[in-house]
Structure 1
Amino acid sequence: MNIQNVRTIVLVGLLTVSPGLATASEATDDVLYRTSFEDEKVATFHELQDGAVRIQATGTAAISSKFARRGNQCLHLLGDENNSITFELPDKMRAIKGIVFHAERWTVKEPFTFRVEAQQAGVWREVAQLDNVISVGARFLSHIQLPISGDGEVEAIRFQVTAAPQSGVLIDDLSFHASAPQQPTSVPSVVMPTEPLELVSNQPLFISGTQETHTFRIPSIVTATNGDLIAMCDARRQGSADLVHQRTIDIVVRRSVDNGETWTPMKMVNPRTDGGCSDPSLVVDEVTGDIFCFYNYMNSDKSSKEYRFIVQKSSDHGKTWGTPVDFTDQVAGPELRHAFKFITSGRGIQTREGVLIHNYVRVGKGVTLFGSRDHGATWEAMGEVTPGDESKVVQLPDDSLMVNSRISPGKRFVHRSSDGGKTWESVADFNLPDPRCNACIIQYTAKRDGYAKDRLIFCNAASISGRKNLAVRISYDSGHIWSAGKVIDSGPSAYSAITILKDGSIGVLYEPGHNEIRFVRFTLAALTGEKLHKPYVSSPKTHQ
C-alpha cells in the first residue's frame, strides 16, 4: 500500500500496555507505558487517543504492517521537514526517567536527522540527537535506551525527524520508565577531520572515458614481496552500473617498480569471457611471494543473478596472471547458490601463522570470512560476523582478529575475536564516521616486531552526509582510540585501498568521485610527526 495516498483519519485505542514485551535489558516493575503498535488498523494518522495518553503527529505518521521488530506492525514516521510525533503524558506518567525503543532508519538517502525531546515546565529540551546512532537495515538493529535528566515532571515526549521523501524512521517496542536505563545508549559527539595531509605524490592512474572504458571504479592495491606496487580496478566498459546490472566489466591492472613514481600501461587480468567481472581484491602471500586476485563473476545471461567467486594467481609479482579458478563451492554451500553475495573489494591479509584470510558479503545477512591454510591450493569458509557489509580484516599485534565493516551512515561496526574467529565481540564505532562506504585498514607497525609503537591506520570517506572528505587516522591501541585524522581529499571521495610501500611510506588508491581512480603517497611524519627508528619491513610470518 502506498502510504502517501491513504486518507488521513483518526484512530482510537492504538496503544496498550503489554508486559510480555519487556526485554532482558529493561526493568519490568517500573514501566509507565508500553506499546508495540499491534492492535490497530494500518493507516496514516494525525491524532490518536489511548486512554489518558494523547498522541499527535505533525506531518505524516502511519501504522505499518510491512515491517515490525516482532509481531506484525510498527510506527513509521515518514520523511518530511521536521516531521514529529508527540506523546502527551497524564499526571500519573510524568515521573518518567527513561525511554526505551527499537528503531530502524529507512534508507541511506540524505538528509536524515532524528532527535528525542522532553517537555518540562512548558519548555522543550533535547534528550538525545540520534542522527548517527539509528542504523539502516532490516531487523530494527538500533536498541535505544535514553535517560531523562532533571527534577521537573515530564509533560510530553516528542520524536522529530527530517528525512528524504518516502523514507524516515521505523519505531517499535516503545516504553517509558520510572527509572533511568542501566545501560544507556552512547550518543557520540563526532568531529570530522579537516586538517590537510601533506602528500609526497598525487596522480590519476585510471581516467574514466579513456581506454574504451566508460567508468573506472573499485580500487585495490598491494605491495609485492619485491616492493612492486600492484594497482587494480573495474574497467566498466559501457556504463557506471554495478555487475548485477551490466556484464561488460573487466579487471585491469597497472604496476610500479619505483614506489609509485611511474606506472606500466594498463592490462587486463581476466581473460575475455561471455560475462563480466568486478570488485578486485588482492592478498599477498609473504611466504611464497604469490599474489592472489579475487573478483566476482556473472555470466552474460541477464536473467541470472548468481555471483561466482574467481581467483587468479601471480607468481611473478603481478606481471602475469594464471588461469581463473572458480572456488565458490569451496566457501559457500549450495543454499547460497542464488543468494546475493559478493567478495569484498580491496585486500585481504596473511596472518603471522601464514593463513590467508579474506571475506565475502551476504547482503542483508552479514559477512563470511574465508581463507586458505595451504598457500592458496584450497579455500574454506572460516566463520561469520554480523551485522556487516563490505569489510576489512586485520590481525592485531596480540594475534587477535578485527573485522571493520561499513554498516550505516554515522558509524562503522567493529568485530573482534581472540580465539581465531570462533567467537566475536561486536560494537558500533562512532569514532569512525562513515557514509556507508567501503573503507580500508592496515596494521602498519607492531612493538613485537621491534618498532616503538603499535600503529593501525584507517582510511575512509569521513562524512555522514555523502561520500566525501577522504581522511586517514591512526590508532596506537588496536583501534580503541583514533586520532583526529588528516584529510587527503575534501571533495567527492568514495572507495579507497591502502598499502605500505617498501620505503615505509603509505599509499592510498581511491575514487575522487567516478571520474578517475587516483594514487597518493604520504609519510608517517606527515600524518603524525613521527619517524620510524628502523627501516620498514612487513610483519614476519612464523609459518614455514
Structure 2
Amino acid sequence: MIRMILLAMTLVVSQSFVCADESTDDILFSTSFEDGKVGSFQSLQDGTVQVRATGTAAITPKYAHTGKQCLHLLGDENNTITFILPEDLRSVKGISFHAERWTRRAPFSFRVEVQQDDTWREVAQLDYIVITGARFRSHVQLPITGDGETQAIRFQVTAASKSGVLIDDLSFHETAPKRPTPIPTSVMPSEPLELVDSQPLFTSGTQGTHTFRIPAIVTATNGDLLAVCDARRKSSGDLGYQRTIDIVCRRSIDNGKTWTPMEVIENIQDGGCSDASLIVDQVTGDIFCFYNYITADRSKKEYRFMVQKSSDHGKTWGEPVDFTDQVAGPELKNAFKFITSGRGIQTREGLLMHDYVHIGKGVIVFGSRDHGKTWEKMGEVSPGDESKVVQLPSGSLMVNSRISPGKRFIHRSSDGGKTWESNADFSLPDPNCNACIIQYTAQRDGYAKDRLLFCNAASNNGRKNLAVRISYDGGLTWSAGKVIDNGPSAYSSMTILKDGSIGVLYEPGYKEVRFVRFTLSALTGEKLNKPYVPHPTAGP
C-alpha cells in the first residue's frame, strides 16, 4: 500500500528541474516546488494553469528530493487535486515525479485520471508503487494514452489522518516515457496445486514452545531432508523482544513421508537464537546452519551472526562459530542487522553465498571461498529487506528481496556481484514477506528447459495465498502460478528432493510449520526429460 499522487502541481513552477534519466527536450512543464509559498492551499493559479483541490495539500520545507521544498499531500478521504491544462499543455503524453509514502497506516488508495473529450478515465491505480520512508526512491513515470487532447489531470487519494504522500520533481512530457513504471496486477494466483503430501512438522503450543516460526529446508547430498525453524518458547515475538528462542530441526530419509523427533541444533545457553538458514556444500557434503544471536544480558542488544556445521547430513552439529566480524565492520556493531532466514546457495564455481539485512540500508551479500572455513563480505544491494540469492544458468546472480506490499525488488549482477542492476518486479505481488526462489533445472546440464521456481504469499493485502510460479527466462517473466494454500500463509522455504519432486516448508499462519510436496507435472504438466541430479557444486 503506497500512494503517490501527483498532486498540486499547481504551485508556482520552476522550469529548471529534470530527472537525470529523462529527456529534456520534450518537457512541457516541470516543478520542484521551490517557488511555492510554504503552507497549505486549496486553489492556485500560475499563469494560465488553474488547480482545484479538495482535502489538504501543502508545500513543506522539511523534506525534498532536490532543492529545499516538496509537496505534501496529507491524509484525507477522497483527497483530490484537479489540474486544468491550458491549451499549450494539452498535448501531454507523459508524467514523471519522485514520491515517498508518508507512514504505512491504513487506509490507503491512490489513482490518476485524465479528462479527454469531457470524459474522465483512469490512467493508473498506484496504491503499491511508492515506498514508505525511502526518501523519494520511488520514481514514477506514466504514459497518457488516447487520441484526444488532455483537458485535465485528476489525482485522488485516500489516506489516514496526518499521513499521505511527499512529491517532488514533477514534470509533464510531450512524449510517453521510454521506461514507464510497471503497474502491479490485481489478479492473484487461484488455481489449486495438487499435492503429493501435506503434514505439520512443528505445531505451536506443543513441546514446550509457544510458537514455531521461520522455516528453512534443504536436501542433503545423501538425499535426506532437513527441516529447521525457530522454537519461540515464551511468546511469538521476534528475537529483539525475547531471548528464549532455540533453533530446532527434524530429518526425513524417505522424501518427507516420515520424520525424526524434534531436536535442538544450537547449544548456546546464555541467549536467544532465531531466523535459521541453511546451505549445502555439494563438494564436501557439509551443511551449514546460520542464525542470529543475542545474549541473555538485556543491556546488550547487538545482533551477532552464528554458524554451525554438520558433516553427517544433519545428524550432529559442531560448536557455534561467531563470524560476525568477518562480514560486518565495526560501524555495524550496534546496527539492526540479521541474516535472512531460509537458505543460501552454492554457485557452480563452488562459492558459498548468502546475505544479511541492514535494516533501512539494504542487503549485504557475503560468502566463503574455502568451503566455510572463513567468510567475507562480497557486495551490497539496495533497496532490500529479507532476500534470497540465486545463480542463474548463465552464471549471473540475482537477489530477490521483499521491499513493500505490491512488489518484490530484483537485483542482477553479471560480474559476480561487483555491480548490480536493480528494478522493482510488480509481476510478483507480495505483502512484504520473506519468500523463496530456487534454480531447478538448466539446459546446460542436459535438461529440456531452464526452470526457476518462486514461492511466496501471493497477495497485496495480508500474508495469505501461498503460491508457486515458474520462470523459463531467468525471472524476466513468470507463470500465473498455482496455490498451495489459499488461507493464511507467511514465510516459506523450498528444496528439490532426490526424486525431483519439490518440497516446501511454510507457515500456514503462525499455528504450525507445515511440509508439502508436489511434482513438476502438477505445476506445469511437464516431466523432466532425465532423472534429477543436482549440479556437483550448485546445491538443490
- Code of the residue aligned with 1:394 in structure 2: it is V
Quote the sequence identity (%): 74
TM-superposed CA distance for 1:435, in Å, is 1.2
The alignment partner of 1:382 has SS state of strand
Separation of aligned partners in 2, 1:526 and 1:264: 28
Separation of aligned partners in 2, 1:417 and 1:81: 43
- Code of the residue aligned with 2:503 in structure 1: it is G
Deviations 1:153-183 (A, max 9, x none): 3332221123345443321111223343343
Other-structure match for 1:510 = 506
Separation of aligned partners in 1, 2:118 and 2:30: 24
Counterpart of 1:161 (choices 144, 157, 160) is 157
Asked if residue 439 in structure 1 is aligned to residue 425 in structure 2, the reply is no
Other-structure match for 1:9 = none
Asked if residue 396 in structure 1 is aligned to residue 392 in structure 2, the reply is yes
The alignment partner of 1:526 has SS state of helix
Other-structure match for 1:311 = 307
Separation of aligned partners in 2, 1:193 and 1:448: 30
- Code of the residue aligned with 2:405 in structure 1: it is P
Other-structure match for 2:351 = 355
Is the CA contact 1:136–1:407 (under 8 Å) kept in the aligned structure 2? no
With normalisation by structure 2, the TM-score equals: 0.93
* Unmatched segments (≥5 aa) in structure 1: 1-11
CA gap 1:73/1:204 in 2 versus in 1, 3 angstroms: farther
Asked if residue 534 in structure 1 is aligned to residue 530 in structure 2, the reply is yes
Asked if residue 229 in structure 1 is aligned to residue 225 in structure 2, the reply is yes
CA gap 1:128/1:86 in 2 versus in 1, 3 angstroms: same
CA gap 1:165/1:242 in 2 versus in 1, 3 angstroms: farther
Query: Which stretch has the larger CA shift, 171-180 or 190-199?
Result: 171-180
Asked if residue 477 in structure 1 is aligned to residue 444 in structure 2, the reply is no
Separation of aligned partners in 1, 2:302 and 2:213: 21
TM-superposed CA distance for 1:395, in Å, is 1.2
TM-superposed CA distance for 1:73, in Å, is 3.1
Other-structure match for 2:455 = 459
Counterpart of 2:486 (choices 475, 485, 490) is 490
Separation of aligned partners in 2, 1:496 and 1:142: 28
TM-superposed CA distance for 1:150, in Å, is 3.1
Equivalences for 1:46-61 in 2 at 5 Å? 46-61=42-57
Separation of aligned partners in 2, 1:204 and 1:80: 45
Separation of aligned partners in 2, 1:188 and 1:346: 26
CA gap 1:510/1:29 in 2 versus in 1, 3 angstroms: same
Other-structure match for 2:289 = 293
CA gap 1:247/1:542 in 2 versus in 1, 3 angstroms: closer
CA gap 1:181/1:354 in 2 versus in 1, 3 angstroms: closer
Equivalences for 1:31-110 in 2 at 5 Å? 31-40=27-36, 42-110=38-106
CA gap 1:248/1:37 in 2 versus in 1, 3 angstroms: farther
Asked if residue 277 in structure 1 is aligned to residue 276 in structure 2, the reply is no
Is the CA contact 2:281–2:352 (under 8 Å) kept in the aligned structure 1? yes
Deviations 1:406-449 (A, max 9, x none): 11221111122121111222222221111111100111111222
TM-superposed CA distance for 1:303, in Å, is 4.3
Other-structure match for 1:124 = 120
Asked if residue 384 in structure 1 is aligned to residue 412 in structure 2, the reply is no
Other-structure match for 2:4 = none
Separation of aligned partners in 2, 1:200 and 1:206: 19
The alignment partner of 1:155 has SS state of strand
Deviations 1:65-121 (A, max 9, x none): 443222333223234433222223344433333211112233455543321112234
Counterpart of 1:260 (choices 253, 256, 261) is 256
Other-structure match for 2:12 = 16
Separation of aligned partners in 2, 1:501 and 1:454: 18
Is the CA contact 1:13–1:51 (under 8 Å) kept in the aligned structure 2? no
Asked if residue 367 in structure 1 is aligned to residue 340 in structure 2, the reply is no
CA gap 1:17/1:83 in 2 versus in 1, 3 angstroms: closer
